[in-house]
Amino acid sequence: MGKDDDAENMWVNAFESLYNSVSQARFGRTIAIFREAIECHKNGCYAAALVMCRGTLESALFVLQQWSAKESRKILLFWEGRKGFSSLVRWAEGNDVLTNQEGVRAEAVADAGGLGAHLEQRLTEEVFKYSKEGNLSREGNPYRSYRVGVGADDSLHVIEETSKLLEAMATSEYVQRRKAS
């Protein structure tokens, strides 16, 4: 079994957890974003997969935060303004969606997604820095390359963490209470 198969299995596990515990309709966007993360990974776009994993967790946390008890039978989202990722994690830890340890892991996924999102900016800054210092080859490229090091293993690890966190959210005490009300 290859790494693409592993990533595919992680998506299936997360999808089944969300679908069985809540509904596909409530988490439709979250599932679609995670599916995109898997496709990015399978196509070698590892930095993009990191960004999509962050988006997946942010989407899931936002949906859970907006899920009110009296609207639990309806598929509605009520926007209360944009929330930062850290504030969503703190809310999740305080409402039995994530444990403190899972919150730390969610923040690590968010940090990895931030790295992926700002990768191009970092590369551009490095090229500018070296060209300004006069360290260019004849072709105009810097002699020393800048490599962030986002590879298949990094991407797969973040996908695995995202899958486990989605499963934890789907089976959390918060979800069980909301389903019962």
Q: What is the pLDDT of residue 149?
A: 67
Structure tokens at 126: 């490095």
* Interatomic CA distance for residues 40 and 29, integer angstroms: 16
* Interatomic CA distance for residues 135 and 66, integer angstroms: 52
CA distances from 60 to 9, 134, 162 (A): 19, 47, 11
Classify residue 136 by its DSSP letter. Answer: B
For 106, residues 6+ apart whose C-beta sits below 8 A from its C-beta are 57, 61, 89, 92, 98, 165
């940090």: which residue's tokens?
111
* Interatomic CA distance for residues 26 and 100, integer angstroms: 25
Q: What is the pLDDT of residue 69?
A: 42
**pLDDT tens digits in sequence order for the chain, 181 residues long:** 455 577 777 767 777 777 676 665 678 888 889 999 999 998 988 888 999 999 999 999 988 888 754 454 544 444 445 568 999 999 999 999 999 999 999 999 998 888 877 766 666 666 555 555 555 444 555 444 444 568 888 899 999 999 999 989 988 999 888 877 7
- pTM > 0.85: yes or no: no
* Interatomic CA distance for residues 57 and 27, integer angstroms: 11
Pseudo-torsion of CA 173, 176, 180, 181, nearest 10°? 60
* Interatomic CA distance for residues 24 and 27, integer angstroms: 5
Structure tokens at 52: 């999509």
Q: What is the pLDDT of residue 27?
A: 82
DSSP 3-state assignment of 167?
helix
Q: What is the pLDDT of residue 1?
A: 43
Q: What is the pLDDT of residue 127?
A: 58
Is 41 within 8 Å of 67 (Cβ atoms)? Answer: no
For 81, residues 6+ apart whose C-beta sits below 8 A from its C-beta are none
**Count of residues for the chain?**
181
Residue 128, domain extent: 3-180
Q: What is the pLDDT of residue 77?
A: 47
* Number of domains making up the chain: 1
